[in-house]
Amino acid sequence: MAEQAGELEGTLGDAVRALRLERRLTQSELADRANVSLGAVKNLEAGRGSSTTTLVRVVHALGEDDWLSGLRPVRPTFNPVDLADQRRGTRRVPRRVRRPAQS
């Protein structure tokens, strides 16, 4: 699993580097645009680990916000409570809890 994560970091770093070079930006210019440190950009491109914030800022600075859209979670098309109710065979009826009045 750790090897896969390292490979993915390297792949992401290579892709960020390619986009940066395509846009004819230096690492320093990209860092300024993304409002991150130069070291953060270097680490990201080298695949040495990076924060999610750095990745998002850099991708946004490169104008590739669509890149991240594939990472959005898929919303379930069902309510998990309804599924649980079906398995129980009954529909849960909410109960009202009455508390004694305080004096």
Q: Does 55 reside within a domain?
A: yes
Among all chains, which residue has been given the structure tokens 């009045």? 101
CATH of the domain at 54: 1.10.260.40
Q: Does 15 reside within a domain?
A: yes
**Domain enclosing residue 31, as ranges:** 2-69
* Per-residue pLDDT tens listing for the chain (103 residues): 556 777 888 888 999 999 999 999 999 999 999 999 999 999 999 998 888 899 999 999 999 988 887 776 666 666 767 766 666 665 556 677 777 777 6
Q: Does 50 reside within a domain?
A: yes
- pTM of the predicted model over 0.85: no
Q: Does 80 reside within a domain?
A: no
